[in-house]
Each structure stands twice: as structure tokens, then as C-alpha cells.
Structure 1
Amino acid sequence: IQPAGRAIREIRRIAENLGLTPDNGVTVRLTGDVALSDEEIGLVKSQAAAAALGSLVLVSIVPAFGLRSFRMIAAVLATLLVGLALNLGFTTLAVGHLNMISAAFAVLFIGLGVELEIHFSMRYQELLAKGHSHATALYETAGDVGTSIFLTAVATAIGFFSFIPTHFVGVGELGLISGAGILIGFLCTVTLLPALLSLRPPPAPDGEPRSFAWTMQRLADLPVRYPSAVRWSALALALCTVFVLPKVRFDNNPLNVRDPSAESVQTFADLLAGSTTSPWTVNAIAPDAASAAALAERLRALDVVGSVVTLADFVPEEQQEKRGIIEDVAMFSAPAPGPDGQLLAPTAQQKIEALETLEVEIAHLLAEGEPGPLTPAAETLRGGLRRYRESLAALPDPSTSLEELQEELLGALPEQLRILSRALEAGAVTLENLPDALVDRMLAADGRVRVEIFPKGDLSDHASLAAFVDGVREVVPEIAGSASEIVESGRAVERALSQALLTALGAITVVLLLVWRRVLDTALVLAPLLLASAFTVQAAVFLQIPFNFADVIVLPLLIGIGVDAAIHMVHRARAMGEGAVNLLTTSTARAIAYGSLTNVASFGTMGLASHLGLATMGQLLTVGVILTLVCNLIVLPALIPGGQRSAAQVPRRRRRRATVAPPRRAGSG
């Protein structure tokens, strides 16, 4: 999972053995492509697992309010865990690994899988409350909600499978894993869940549970009593998306989807802040050195290009004049070499004589110069030198003391002088004597030359980065490098997600038309999905959540996630017929509400991750699910024709009973 982990640990071990630790005033930090990827993989692995565990805990709590039966909750959770295990097994066999995006499959399965089980369980529980036997309740539940659950599972799976044909491999693998997971969840819901309920059938609930209409009567009546107002309001809000779209931002900087507190990210940012060059460069290939020089001149004329480097640029110009200056500096700074050409280290006696000379010179300065602010310090130094030389005379071997004094006074100066001495020995630089590593990086074996192009200005925003890449491509069409990879990856992701969105909508439309053979019902299912998608885009702008390589999949995901609720609502409305009571007072609406709450609880755990890619994906999914719920429970009932009755239209005798006990729930679908 983390192939670079061993090498990174070895680097840290070597640094510790060398004493490069904070205790010694030294901090060693690692960054670069390898360190960034390794740290991100470890972070995503741990936080995706934590998000899955957290969502499982929260999802265990939400159904308790709707089912209110320990046996049913236990059966639902057992079915969910078995389905999750089967989905993980399918992932192992079909894909064999997880990537940065598909690591979120467990959270998606938990949120969506339990929603299927809630619809089945609430309808089964409702039939028990009406006096049906366990066998009859299971049989009618399978015949009633089984069809809609199957249709929603197929439609949701199609939404996920639409990612597979795209060129975005990470999303394609997520689509395969999650699409298969939804079908696995359906099979477990209609097979394992009834079997578990049959082991020890739960008793019929004591009285029917309080309905959605009884607790929020006015809200439930809103789309039925004021359908025109709801429709026009939804249309007006949807049209606002036209004005918001220009403000939608796609953040193509890969650093911005990582954890900003990670060591590799912080180190990269620090290096970038203190550097005059950008890491986002592009490279071109020229057939020979002459062509490379000509191409470099054309590129330097572009406004978006800061500098261009070829192998020839590593050979300095005006070398003769510069070497003359170096030789003059070497003559005055370098000590005379010994007979073997090496620098001679001074002996102990030479060091003592040098100290004596220093003492004499200080005495001359004090005698000849006028008193000044440094006079007391000079006298103290001369006295200290005299006492130190006297102490050396009493030692049998003064070498050790002299070496300690040299270390205290000069520290790293000798080594710096040696480095300077080597630098002053520089000779002529030609293409033939450049370092092999540099030549291998800039020159191919067949003579082709690499041309490295650096941008001008800050490329932190997508527009500047795209302008740089497109400007260079006008001169040389075939380029490669980090800048072009980021720009082209972003464009490929946008194309892939647009393809997935259209594919999902088209496939779901075809399936609904084939099953229902009703254009109106199909349009009613798609309308809240499109509205919720538009509202999610607006929310992303208002909440300042940019789309990035991770959360850009949210809109196609919402199509697959939100279609099930719309299918249940339309299916239930047609089953109830015209003139029926308010659709929002049925158990279908309650099941949708509880199912959406489980999705919010599941996806919300991802929103707390420190990895910004997982966090923004969880946040946008949470917001999108809430908006989808609003569209399905408020807008969709106002769009469904058929003359539903509001609570005010229910006969007075029935309302009088409702003042004593909560109204009875209608069947679930």
C-alpha cells in the first residue's frame, strides 16, 4: 500500500544516527512526489477507515428512532455488515486494490445500503401493526416495496457504473465497486434480512408510530395546499444557478486536496514560499542542440514564460574574464600548498607563534592608537593571550588545548575555507565536462535535447496555469511536465464527469421508461434530481467549497444516490391513486427521511477528515443529500398531479381521533 514507506523510514533512521534531531537543534523534513504520495496514502487509509467506523456507529443510531425495535435494528445492522463484507470481497477479486477515491466506498455502502433496509423494515413493521402475521407481512412487503427497491437499486447502480467508461481510473474503480455494492445490498435486503427477521419475529409495535404529518403538519401540507407557489419558487431558485455558474471554481492544485498539516505538504509550501522558481514547469524535446537553442529563443519571447533552460545554459558565458577574477581571489586567499600540492596543517609551535604575534600586534595598536571604546576589550584580550601562552608552557603537550581553542573560536571555518579553496580551483566549463547526472537529465542518447520551460508569475490559480500551458503549446504542441499534467488532468476529469453525468441520466431515463412506460412519471423522478444538483452547485459557491479532483464526482454521485427517493415517492403516489391523503403522511416519506438522515450521518463523517479531498467530498455530499431530501419531499409532491388531500381536507371525524392518538401511517412503497 505504501511502497516508499521503507525508504522513508531508512532516511529518518540515518538522520537520527547522525544526530540530526530536534534535541540537537536540527529538524529533518521530507517532501517531494514520493514523500507527498506516501503520506497521503497513509492518511487516506487511516481516515477512510475512521470515517467508515464513525458512519457505522451513527447509522446504527438513526434507525432506532424509526424502527424502535431492538430485534429489527439488530437484523438491519447484521444485514448491513454482511453486505459490507461481501462488497469488500468483491473489491478484492474484481479490482484488488483501493485508490484515493475508491477508499470511500465503505462510507457510501453504509449510507446507501441501510437505506434499502429501512424501506423494507418500515413497511414490514407497518403491516405488523395492522394485524398481519409475520409471514403475510413479509410476503406483502416483498410484493409492495420489493419492486421499488429493485428499481432504485438498479438505477443507483447505473449511476455508479456510469463512471466506468471514463478515463478517470480512480473514479471508474469507485463506480465499479459501489455499483456492485448497491446490488449486493439489494440482494442482502431481500434475502438475508427476511431470514434474520424470521429467526425470531419481532412483536407488533404497541400502537402505530407518530407520523411525519402529525409532528410537522404545516410542512407536510405545504406542497399540497400551495403547489403553484412551491413550483414557481423552485423554478426561480433553479434559474439562479445561471448567475452562480460563472463563480464555480475548480481547484486543480493537487496540494490543495491534501492535509495542510502534513509534514510533506508544509515542507513543500515552505520551500515554494522561499523559492524564486515554480515547481509547475513543462518540458519540450528538440532534435538537436541547434534546434533547442532556436526553440528556447522563441519560448522566451512569450509573455507567460519566465525562463527557458537547455543543456547549453549550464555552460557559463565570458568564462575567460570570470576565471581571471577567480585566480586573483585564489592568489590572495589560499595559503601556499606543501611539496605534495596539499595544504599543510599548522603545527602546535606555529599556532603558539601565531598567538604571540597576535599579542604583539594588539600591544602595538594600543601603544600607537588613541583610546577608544574598544580599548578595554583589546587590553583584556592581550592579557588573556599572555596568560594562555604561559599556561601552554606548563603543559607537556599543548596540542590538545590548542585544538580545543581552535574549535571554540573557528568552528566550521576551516572546512569552509577548504570548500572555498576547491571552488577557486575551477577550470573551464564545457559541454564535455558537465556532470554525467546533469547531461543524462538534459540530453538523450540519440542527441535529442530537453528544453525546460519555467512560468512567469504565480500559478496558484487555474486560469494562470492554463494560460501558461496553452501559451507554450502554441509554440510547441507536444509538451510534458507537472504544469501540463495538472491542466490536462483537470480537463480530463471535467470531461469524464460530464460524460458520467450524461450517461447516468440517460441510462436511468431509459430504465424508467422501459419499466414504467410513462414519460410523465420518468420526468417526475428526474426533476428533483436536476433541481438538487443545481442547488448543490449554488451551495458550493456560497459555502466557498471549490470543486477539486476528489469532490468533483459529487454531482454524478447525487444522481445515483437521490434517484431512489424519487422513485419511491412516484411509485407510492401511483399505488395510492388520485384523491389519496397527503403523500408526506405516508411511511414512504418517513422512510425517505430516515434514509436521508443515515446518508447525512454517513457522509458527514468524511466531512470531518483532515485530508481536504475527503473532507470536501463529505461536505458536498452531505449538503447535496439534504437538498435532495428537500426536493423530494417538498418540490416533488407539488409536481405530482392527482389531487392529494391535505390534512385540512381529511374528514372531521378522522381529525378528532388524531387529537387523542397520532394518525395512522399509510403503507410504505
Structure 2
Amino acid sequence: MPSSQSFSVRFFSRWVIFSYRYAVWIILLILALTTFSTLYTAENLGVHTDTTDMLSEEVPFRANHIRYIHSFPQHEDTLLLALNAPTPEQVHEAAKAFTVFLNNDHPHFSGIHYLAGEPFLEKNGLFFKDLDELGRISDYLAAAQPLIARIAESPTLYTFSAVLTDAAEELRKGRKLDLEPVFSAVSATLDARIAGQSRALSWQALLGGEAQKSTYQELIIAKPKLDYSQIFAAEEPINAIRMEAEKMGFAPDAVKNLRITGEVALAHDELNSAMYGAQDAGLLALVLVAAVLLLAFRSAGAIVTVIIALILGLLLTAAFATVAVGHLNLISIAFAVLYIGLGVDYAIHFLLRLEELRDPEQSFSEALNHTGGDMGQSLLSCAITTAIGFYAFMPTTYRGVAELGLISGTGMLISFLITMTLIPALQRIFPVKTRKLPDSAQSINHVLDLPRHSRKLIYFLTVAAIAASILALPKIRFDYNLLNLNNPRAESVQTFQELLGSAEDSPWHINILVNDSEEIEPIVKRVSALPEVKSVISMLDLVPQQQEDKSLLIEEMAMILGPVSFSPTAFLIADHYTVAEQRGALDRLRIALERLVDEQPEHVVANSAGKLQASLANLLLHLEKLSDASDGGDTKARVLRALNDDLLSLLPGSIQRLQLALSAQPFGEDALPVSIKELWQGSDGVYRIAVYPQENINDNDALRRFVRAVQEIAPSATGIPVISLEAGEAVVDAFIHAFTLALLGVVVALWIMLRSIASTVLVLIPLLLSALFTCAGTVLLNLPFNFANIIALPLLLGIGIDSSLHMVHRSRSGVVYESLLHTSTARAIFYSALTTLVGFGSLVFSMHQGTSSMGLLLTIGLLITIVCVLIILPVLLQSADKQQGNPA
């Protein structure tokens, strides 16, 4: 053995003996240092949750995003409220009322945008429709005007039924009236009332010539005041919204509901699911890891020693992060996961080696002396190579990964120091005892011995797996969709995905910034021509075209409608009609519709008239059954009164809004209110162009097509679609560059420490094979890489290096293949991997999909690493021994 190696053996032996002799002082010193470090960390360590801040500002798309936020800060950190109701009138009124609440809640909100509720747009909304649509509305209004005029005089179920009866008779005589939407909508309202539910008739939809939908939606954008002193910065604003929604009668499963989404709500729910998911997984991991350690050591003292060393090392690493960086981000916070996964290995290797060398015939300090000398160099080599692997992430432009590399790399060195210093000291309190090799270990040894008898088969299977994995590599995918990291059952996620399916309301759209208004039109024309683009909205759309022609149609509609008005007591007239009179009016309508259908079954309204006739028959039968009850008369009156409200309560408001819209006059850009202009023109004079996708960009392929097509025309475009795609590619590039540097650094470090090319290659082969097989496994299991599970790769890199290095180092000490797998080294590798496997495999059950996918990838990678290190590597070592003339 070279003298330098002998020197290192003596150095590490003396190190651990010193710690053992002065155990009390060593333990007190480390506890004092850890206590101070913990207090310092608690006071000074911050957490940055903005994913864009993890990227260097020099990256082009990051610079574009910063420029956009500078010009339009109102679009940053917002909540998106989706209100739904059965009619456009109801959802509009609810949204306006909620907007009033938000505007008055100054402690929680600093800005509200409800575009559909802007008074300017309510008045001038008809100018934003095309001429054909205005013409159709004019025709429907002309047909409905007599109906509206008569009902305005007497807004009752009796009058309404009589008007529809006259209309049915006119249709039967051959008059052309488009009443199909009216018949269908009234039929649906009657059916709902028979079922004991309320479905108001939308006069806005009828007057617009549209079939009434089952639900209507309005969107409100709210900018909450975030309290970053709290873990959940948006908790108070979100709670304020939910409390007000409950007061206003909104309920999750009701016909009227309010759902919260947007970037702030998504981040809130993601943090919530990640924390509770980690909490549940942590409890499961604690139980499973304790069980594995108990299996490995059969000693409570050894388990306590490992856990103490792990906790103190983790706290010291956090203190280093506080001093060196000052904060954690959503990537670097994974240092804890990496430290636990790798730090426990050092402790297990040290204690199992000590147990192996423990002999009742010799003193404890002698066994500890041999363990320190034997394990010191091996653990130091592992710590240095793993640290180099992590430090290789530092030069990348992805700041989150760079900070992770710095913290985790130093954490490995801290773990080495803790293992060599604290664990020997703790042997004063929890000494390792001699014990017979347990039956479980003997069983493991028997299983691990099997490949020795099938060397050719192992080589064949390995080569076949390499070939298959190489073929699978081109199919590796990266999921750029940040939504897929979150809890799929969260309200914010489900609502956001629903909005993504709507091209008009998609919250994921691309923003193009231009400095001059003259640049807008050419870009809009070019982008609009792209097949990937559904629509483009800009400042140009705020002043509609053909206003003179539209104004003529609007004036014509105003003349058709006339001066319709409702008195405040108009709906009290309903009480003047008896139940019998109202039933008679309904029955006359039923008979008129029945005649129409019987005489003209091919009429364009025959189908809808038939449905309404059937609904009326069911309603009358329902009312007839109520007469059997003791209070049947009162019950029937209540049903008819409720039906009267369902059919007519929204009419006055609809007419009032229509009359406001019919008073509009042509306008220019100077008439636009500031609240609308500021959404499209920043205070610095920059203009915004919004580009909406043709496809649902919740799909990764659709996202890529959309972003790349727009970037061909506007390279500086920004927005969530651009950020997701570019950030994903930045992460992939960062990891490729980091792994390349890590591999080069590890190769050099191994060669320097091992002084043997053959040994260096033997260490690297399992590492490269496990990386190749793990990547192929993601293809086989349809498990794409994402922003969360890619953090598993450096952990697998560290475990692969450490495990291979321990095996090669032990074989170089003269242990032959037959004995190698029976040593504490093989058992330590097995139990270390098993503790990591059960610890992080429990993450699979997290409701946070990013955490779950990371747990699954770790599980796959660790299983493959165990196979490569404990099956393939020993076979290679046996072959190397035979080639060197050492018979197995």
C-alpha cells in the first residue's frame, strides 16, 4: 500500500479515536454550533417561490418577461375568479356585485378588472359585434317586440301564456315567426320547475337569437395584497373571497358558483398540496426508514445515532445555505431531500463496517481505529466525487439549479465531517455491539450470490438492456406544463384546465410588446394568419370598424323596441289572477301547440313546439296531483308564482341593459376610459398584443407548436406559454451541461484518488448504466421528466457514485468476488439504497403530482442502481480479477 495511503489511514484512525476519547466535548461543541446555526437560519433564511426568479435575468425570455411586467404590473400575481350562473343576466349581476365588494376590500386587494362590467363596454357593446350579428339581433327584436310590449303592460304568467298562444295560432295560419328558441327555452324552464328547481328564462339570450345554455361564465381579475411574512402569502385574500361568496349564495355544487384560479391560487394550492403531501409522505417514510434501520442494525442505539447525525448535518447544511445564498427556491429546497438520501449512506457504511470489525476479543477503540482508517478514505472519496457532481451545476444559467449544486455539494462535505466526528463520539453513548449475522443478511447474501453462477447470462441481459435503452432514448419527454405538477383535484387546477379549453377565455396566451402603435397592425395581420392562432386582440380592437353602418342598425333596433318600461309594482299583478285562470291560460297554450304540431308536423318549430306542449302537459298534471294535499291550493299558487318569476323576473333588467346599449353613439380612441386603455398600453407607452391559441395548450405538443409559431414572427414574445416552454428547455440544457461537467469532474477526481484507469472505469460503468436504464424506464412507464422530478437525477448520480466507489474500493483491499458480497460494504449499499428507496418512495403517494412523480422516478432509479451495483458490477470485478490472473 502506498505511503500516502498509509498516511491517510493513520490520519483518519487518529481522527475517529480523538472524537471517541473527547466525546463529551465533541458532542457539546457540535450541539452548540448546530443550535447557533439553527437560530441564525430561522432568522435569516428566506424562500423564493417565483419560478421565473430561478432563471438568470440574462436569459432572453426572462428579460422579455421582466420588460412585460414593468410595462403592465397589473397582470402580475393575480387571482382569476370564474363566476357561473344559469343565465347571462344572473352571472353579470353577480359579477358586478362581487366587483363592488372587491373594490371596497382595500386591506386585501389593490386592483380589480372586470372587463364585461365596464360601464363603457356595457353601453357600447353592440359596436363590437359584426354587421351580420347585429342584423340577426334586429330581426329577433322585431319578432319579439309585440311580445315584450304586451308583457311589459302585464308581466304575468297569464299574459305570457296568452301571448305565446296567439303566436302559435299565427304560426298555424302561416305567418313566419322564429319562435324555436323561445319554445325550447320556456320548455326547459317548465321542466326544471316541475323537478323542483329554478331555471330562469334568459331574455338576453332570446333577444340575441341564441339558444339558452346550461350555464354562463364571467371572469374577474383581482390583484391581491400578498403577505410574504406568512407561508401562504395569499391565504387571507382567498379566504375573504370565499366568505363573501358564501354570503352571496354561491356554493361549489349549486347552479350559482364561484371558483378561484389564476397564478396566485395555483401557487397557493401547489404549496398546500406539496406541504401536506410531504407531511403525509414524511410520516410514512419515518416509519419505513426506522424499520429498515432496525433490520440493518437490530439496535435502537445505532438507529438513534444515524438519525441524530442526519438531523444535525441537515441543520448545518441549512445554515451554510443561509450564509452562502441567503434564500431557498423551489429547486434548491430539494437539498434536504438530497442530503437525507445521501447523508444516511455515510452513517450506515461507517456503523456496519464497525460492526463487522467488532470483535469481543479486542477493545472497542481498536475496532473503531480500524474502522476510521478503512472508511475514512472511502467516505472522503465519495464525498469529494459527489460534491464535484453537485458543484458542476453551479455554472449553469438556471439559478435554481446552480444554488442547489452549491448547497448540496457542500452538504456532502458536511455529512462526511459529521460522520467522521460525531458518530465516533456517539459511540460512547450508543456503542455498536457484536452480533451474529442475521438470517435476513444470510438470505440476501444467498440471493446476491446467484449472478456469480450465471456470468454469461448477466452479460447477455446487460447488453440487451443497453441496446433496448439506446433505442428508447429518443422518446424521452419533458413535460413543460406546470399544471401537471399540482394536485389535479384542486379547484384552481380544474378551473384553469377548463379555461384552457376555451380559446376566448384561455388564461394562457402570448403577449407581444411593441413600442409604436404603427407596429401593431402589421404584426396582428401576420400572427392572425397562423393556423396555431385562434384570435389576436390589440389596441386596434378597442375602436370597432364600420361604426356608421352599425350605428344605423342600432338606431333601427331602438325604434323597433320603442319606449318599453316596467313599473316597480308591475309584478304584483300576478296576484290578481287566480290559480284556475292561470291554469286555463297554460292549457289553452298547450292546445294551440298541439294543433300546430298535428296540422303541420314538418314545420320548422314543430319539434320545439312539441317539447313545450309535453312540458305544459306535465306541468298541468303536476298541478293536478297537488290538489290531493290539504293545502293543495296554496301549494299550486306557490308553484305558479315561482314559475312566473322563472319566466319573467329577468325581463326588466334585460330590457334596461338593451336600452342602454341602443343609446350608444360612434366613438374614437380618445373616448376610451383609462381603465380599459391601461390594459393594452403601459404607462411607459409600450403596447400589448394578446395572442390566443387555436388548440388547448394544456397539451405539450400543442404548446410547443403555438409558441414556436408566434416566436417566428415575434421572437421577444412572452407570457406563460413561452415561459413554460423556454424554462423547461433551460432546465434540460442546464442539467445536460451540469451532468457533462459532473461526469468530467468525477472522472478526473476518481483517477486522481484511485490512481488506476481500470478502477475508474469500473466505478463509472454502473453509474452510466443506471442513468441509461433509468431514462429508458421513464419511456417504458410513460413518466416524462418535469420541473420537479428532474431533481431526482443528482440524487441518483450521488448514490451511483458512492455505491460503485465503495464496492471498487473494497475489492481493491484484497476482497475477492465470493467474499465481496458477504461484507458489510455490500450490506451497507443494500440497506442505504433501501432506506432511500422507502424514504423517498413514499413520495409516490403525495397528492402533489410533481412530488409524486419525483418519488416514482427515485424508486425506479434506485432499484436500477441496486441492480447495477450489486449484480452487474461484481460480475465485472470478477472478470477483471480473472484477467489479472487472480482466480475467483
TM-based fold match above 0.5: yes
Comparing 612-621 with 236-245, greater Cα deviation is found at 236-245
Q: Are 1:493 and 2:731 counterparts?
A: yes
Determine the C-alpha separation between the residues in 2 that align with 1:4 and 1:162.
Answer: 36
Residues 174-233 of structure 1: CA distance to partner in whole angstroms, max 9, x if unpaired? 33333333222222211111111122534422x34458566543641524x444543343
Retained in 2: the 8 A contact 1:83–1:188?
yes
1:345 to 567, 575, 587: 567
SS of 2:394's equivalent in the other structure is coil
Q: Counterpart in 2 of 1:583? A: 820
Q: Counterpart in 1 of 2:557? A: 329
Q: Counterpart in 2 of 1:2? A: 232
Counting only pairs closer than 5 Å after superposition, residues 471-482 of structure 1 correspond to structure 2 as 471-482=709-720
CA deviation after TM superposition for structure 1 residue 431, in Å: 1.7
Retained in 2: the 8 A contact 1:79–1:192?
yes
Q: Counterpart in 2 of 1:601? A: 838
Determine the C-alpha separation between the residues in 2 that align with 1:170 and 1:60.
Answer: 32
Comparing 319-328 with 511-520, greater Cα deviation is found at 319-328
User: Deviating runs (4+, > 6 A) in structure 1?
Assistant: 352-356, 369-374, 403-406
Q: Counterpart in 2 of 1:67? A: 297
After superposition, the Cα gap between the structure-2 partners of 1:35 and 1:482, relative to the gap in structure 1 and judged at 3 Å, is: same
Determine the C-alpha separation between the residues in 1 that align with 2:814 and 2:882.
Answer: 10
Q: Counterpart in 2 of 1:457? A: 695
CA deviation after TM superposition for structure 1 residue 115, in Å: 1.4
CA deviation after TM superposition for structure 1 residue 622, in Å: 1.2
Counting only pairs closer than 5 Å after superposition, residues 198-217 of structure 1 correspond to structure 2 as 198-205=428-435, 207-210=436-439, 212=441, 215-217=444-446
Residues 313-337 of structure 1: CA distance to partner in whole angstroms, max 9, x if unpaired? 232222222222222322333536x
2:383 to 140, 153, 172: 153
Residues 58-87 of structure 1: CA distance to partner in whole angstroms, max 9, x if unpaired? 211112112112222222222223223333
Q: Counterpart in 1 of 2:399? A: 169
Residues 513-543 of structure 1: CA distance to partner in whole angstroms, max 9, x if unpaired? 2212211111111110000011001111111
CA deviation after TM superposition for structure 1 residue 37, in Å: 1.1
Residues 393-429 of structure 1: CA distance to partner in whole angstroms, max 9, x if unpaired? xxxxxxxxxx999867633332232222222222213
CA deviation after TM superposition for structure 1 residue 140, in Å: 0.7
Question: Percent identity at matched positions?
Answer: 40
Q: Counterpart in 2 of 1:664? A: none
2:776 to 538, 542, 563: 538
2:518 to 290, 296, 306: 290
2:538 to 289, 293, 310: 310
CA deviation after TM superposition for structure 1 residue 492, in Å: 0.6
Retained in 2: the 8 A contact 1:497–1:553?
no
CA deviation after TM superposition for structure 1 residue 551, in Å: 1.5
Comparing 632-641 with 172-181, greater Cα deviation is found at 172-181
Counting only pairs closer than 5 Å after superposition, residues 92-241 of structure 1 correspond to structure 2 as 92-129=322-359, 131-205=361-435, 207-210=436-439, 212=441, 215-217=444-446, 219-223=448-452, 225-241=453-469
Retained in 2: the 8 A contact 1:443–1:449?
yes
1:42 to 272, 279, 291: 272
1:565 to 779, 783, 803: 803
**Corresponding letter in the other structure for 2:520:** A
2:853 to 616, 638, 661: 616
Q: Counterpart in 2 of 1:84? A: 314
**Corresponding letter in the other structure for 2:876:** L
Residues 147-193 of structure 1: CA distance to partner in whole angstroms, max 9, x if unpaired? 11121122222223333332223333333333333222222211111
TM-score, with structure 1 as normaliser: 0.83
Q: Are 1:505 and 2:735 counterparts?
A: no
SS of 2:665's equivalent in the other structure is coil
Retained in 2: the 8 A contact 1:91–1:97?
yes
Comparing 606-615 with 195-204, greater Cα deviation is found at 195-204
Comparing 61-70 with 166-175, greater Cα deviation is found at 166-175
Determine the C-alpha separation between the residues in 1 that align with 2:795 and 2:529.
Answer: 45
Determine the C-alpha separation between the residues in 1 that align with 2:345 and 2:566.
Answer: 83
Determine the C-alpha separation between the residues in 1 that align with 2:574 and 2:768.
Answer: 90
SS of 2:512's equivalent in the other structure is strand
After superposition, the Cα gap between the structure-2 partners of 1:344 and 1:112, relative to the gap in structure 1 and judged at 3 Å, is: same
**Corresponding letter in the other structure for 1:11:** I
Determine the C-alpha separation between the residues in 2 that align with 1:459 and 1:479.
Answer: 16
* RMSD, aligned α-carbons: 3.5
Q: Counterpart in 2 of 1:553? A: 791
SS of 1:308's equivalent in the other structure is strand
SS of 1:453's equivalent in the other structure is strand
**Corresponding letter in the other structure for 1:147:** Q
Q: Counterpart in 2 of 1:11? A: 241
After superposition, the Cα gap between the structure-2 partners of 1:509 and 1:23, relative to the gap in structure 1 and judged at 3 Å, is: closer
After superposition, the Cα gap between the structure-2 partners of 1:433 and 1:530, relative to the gap in structure 1 and judged at 3 Å, is: same
CA deviation after TM superposition for structure 1 residue 138, in Å: 0.9
SS of 1:198's equivalent in the other structure is coil
SS of 1:199's equivalent in the other structure is coil
SS of 1:30's equivalent in the other structure is strand
After superposition, the Cα gap between the structure-2 partners of 1:370 and 1:246, relative to the gap in structure 1 and judged at 3 Å, is: closer
After superposition, the Cα gap between the structure-2 partners of 1:55 and 1:87, relative to the gap in structure 1 and judged at 3 Å, is: farther
After superposition, the Cα gap between the structure-2 partners of 1:346 and 1:587, relative to the gap in structure 1 and judged at 3 Å, is: closer
Q: Counterpart in 2 of 1:630? A: 867
Retained in 2: the 8 A contact 1:159–1:557?
no
Retained in 1: the 8 A contact 2:302–2:430?
no
CA deviation after TM superposition for structure 1 residue 558, in Å: 1.6
Determine the C-alpha separation between the residues in 2 that align with 1:534 and 1:288.
Answer: 51
CA deviation after TM superposition for structure 1 residue 275, in Å: 4.7
Residues 325-351 of structure 1: CA distance to partner in whole angstroms, max 9, x if unpaired? 222322333536xxxxxx673567995
After superposition, the Cα gap between the structure-2 partners of 1:346 and 1:572, relative to the gap in structure 1 and judged at 3 Å, is: closer
**Corresponding letter in the other structure for 1:166:** T
1:264 to 492, 497, 506: 492
Q: Structure 2, unaligned stretches of length 5 or more?
A: 1-230, 596-612, 624-640
CA deviation after TM superposition for structure 1 residue 457, in Å: 2.9
Determine the C-alpha separation between the residues in 1 that align with 2:528 and 2:348.
Answer: 64
Q: Are 1:414 and 2:644 counterparts?
A: no
2:501 to 270, 273, 278: 273
SS of 2:258's equivalent in the other structure is coil
CA deviation after TM superposition for structure 1 residue 237, in Å: 1.4
**Corresponding letter in the other structure for 2:659:** S
After superposition, the Cα gap between the structure-2 partners of 1:569 and 1:349, relative to the gap in structure 1 and judged at 3 Å, is: closer
**Corresponding letter in the other structure for 1:242:** I
Determine the C-alpha separation between the residues in 2 that align with 1:606 and 1:625.
Answer: 14
**Corresponding letter in the other structure for 1:540:** T
SS of 1:131's equivalent in the other structure is coil
SS of 2:545's equivalent in the other structure is coil
Comparing 534-543 with 236-245, greater Cα deviation is found at 236-245
After superposition, the Cα gap between the structure-2 partners of 1:97 and 1:414, relative to the gap in structure 1 and judged at 3 Å, is: farther
Q: Counterpart in 2 of 1:658? A: none
After superposition, the Cα gap between the structure-2 partners of 1:405 and 1:602, relative to the gap in structure 1 and judged at 3 Å, is: closer
Determine the C-alpha separation between the residues in 2 that align with 1:452 and 1:256.
Answer: 24
After superposition, the Cα gap between the structure-2 partners of 1:176 and 1:17, relative to the gap in structure 1 and judged at 3 Å, is: farther
Q: Structure 1, unaligned stretches of length 5 or more?
A: 337-342, 385-402, 651-669
SS of 1:428's equivalent in the other structure is coil
Retained in 2: the 8 A contact 1:604–1:619?
yes
Determine the C-alpha separation between the residues in 1 that align with 2:882 and 2:360.
Answer: 23
